[in-house]
Structure 1
Amino acid sequence: MTDLHFACVSARSEPYAAGPTLLFGLRVEEADHQPVHAVVLRCQIRIEPQARRYEPEEQERLGDLFGAPERWGGTLKPVQFAHSSVTVPGFEGVADIDLPVPCTYDTEVASGTYFRALSGGEVPLLMLFSGTVFSGPQGFHAEPIPWHKEARYRMPVGVWQRMMADYFPNSGWLRLRADCLEELRRFRSARALPSWELTVETLLSEAEEGKLS
């Protein structure tokens, strides 16, 4: 049976993608260094938030995900980050490939909220592999990749921060229901506000001053 070992050795931003995309450098090794014709590789990536420490300001920003820090013993659960797939070309022994992972800045997505809450350090990731191996020194046969194949990687937070700064400099995205957006549009129109930023700032200012009914 073909025995593949996986390791993640790097992470970087894809500079020419249509949207924010991380490239994880994977090293795939066949234990007996037998020839592998190809691998159809699938990968599920999870964030393991319990595997790092958090500064007080990070704890505050993570409140909407995990609640108050005193509850984290029961609420600090893994967060789904991404599913991705790639075809590994034929190799003997070891192959180094890039696994592309599209990312989102959507504030409704838990992984995006987690990344934005971090000031620095590393993101502890668990990569779970599955798929099909096509191998055989003589002939050609297909085997499934066992579900227990995995790799851990601590991605520097700065990789994600620099990528998002390149694609969305000094900005972010907020998704609203259609009726809520329409009410916000009316508020902006009634006050002849020139931008959405000024609209939200005015709304917050009036709320703080108690001017809203």
Structure 2
Amino acid sequence: MTELAFACTGVRSDPYAAGPTLVFRLRITAGGGARVHALALRCQLRIEPARRPYGEAEGERLADLFGERSRWGSTLNPIQFAQVALMVPGFEGTTEVEMAVPCTYDLEVAATRYLRALDGGEVPLLLLFSGTAFSGPSGFQVTPVPWDKEAVVRMPAAVWRDAMEQHFPGCGWLRLPGDLMDELLAYRSRHALPSWEATVRELLGRAPIEEAVR
């Protein structure tokens, strides 16, 4: 079996992708300089929130994910960030490849809420690898990539924000049920509001009045 080692040497946002995308630079090393004909990889990316400190404002924004700070000793559990597949061309000894990871700005997704809550610093990520290696000096030897292969990454939070700003500058996204969308559209039409932003601002502006009446 060919021994493989993985490391992440950097991460950046892709300004030319169709949607928000992070690009991880991976270094893959085959033990003893072995020849690898191809590598079919699967990579699970997890956020490990317990591996960084948080300011007061960050803690308040993260309360809906982890509860009160006094409970964080038991609630700062890993968060699934993404799962991607990657086909690595043949190499001998060591190679470096780029792994594109599409991101969502859906605030219903825990990873997005976590990342949006950060003021800065680094995001502690763990990359977990599996898949199949096709190797051997002659012919093909097919072996699984062991589940214990992983790489630790400390991604600057600014890299994720850059990816979002390139596609959704100054904006966020909310996912709403279809019937609620129909009601909002009807409200917008009745009040001749020019945009969804104006619709939400109109509704927020009415809230204090309604609370005062109650």
Q: How high is the TM-score relative to the length of structure 1?
A: 0.96
Matched residue type, 1:30: A
- Following the alignment from structure 1 to structure 2, what is the Cα–Cα distance between the partners of residues 70 and 206? 36
- Bigger CA drift: 165-174 or 201-210? 201-210
Q: Deviating runs (4+, > 4 A) in structure 1? A: none
Matched residue type, 1:61: R
Deviation at 1:12, TM superposition (A): 0.7
- Following the alignment from structure 1 to structure 2, what is the Cα–Cα distance between the partners of residues 157 and 76? 18
Name the SS for the 2:100 alignment partner. Answer: strand
Aligned match of 2:165: 165
Deviation by residue 1:28-59 (Cα, 9 ceiling, x = unmatched): 00121111111001100000000000111111
- Following the alignment from structure 1 to structure 2, what is the Cα–Cα distance between the partners of residues 134 and 51? 35
Gaps of 5+ in 2: none
Matched residue type, 1:118: L
- Following the alignment from structure 1 to structure 2, what is the Cα–Cα distance between the partners of residues 185 and 71? 41
Percent of residue pairs identical: 57
- Bigger CA drift: 9-18 or 100-109? 9-18
- Following the alignment from structure 1 to structure 2, what is the Cα–Cα distance between the partners of residues 40 and 26? 14
Deviation at 1:210, TM superposition (A): 1.9
Aligned match of 1:39: 39
Deviation at 1:70, TM superposition (A): 1.4
Deviation at 1:189, TM superposition (A): 2.1
Deviation at 1:163, TM superposition (A): 0.9
Q: Does 1:130 align with 2:130?
A: yes
How many residue pairs are counted as aligned between the two chains?
A: 213
Deviation at 1:149, TM superposition (A): 0.6
Deviation by residue 1:149-179 (Cα, 9 ceiling, x = unmatched): 1110000001001110011011111111111
Name the SS for the 1:185 alignment partner. Answer: helix
Gaps of 5+ in 1: none
- Following the alignment from structure 1 to structure 2, what is the Cα–Cα distance between the partners of residues 192 and 90? 60
Task: Report 1:165-184 matches (<5 A).
Answer: 165-184=165-184
Aligned match of 2:26: 26
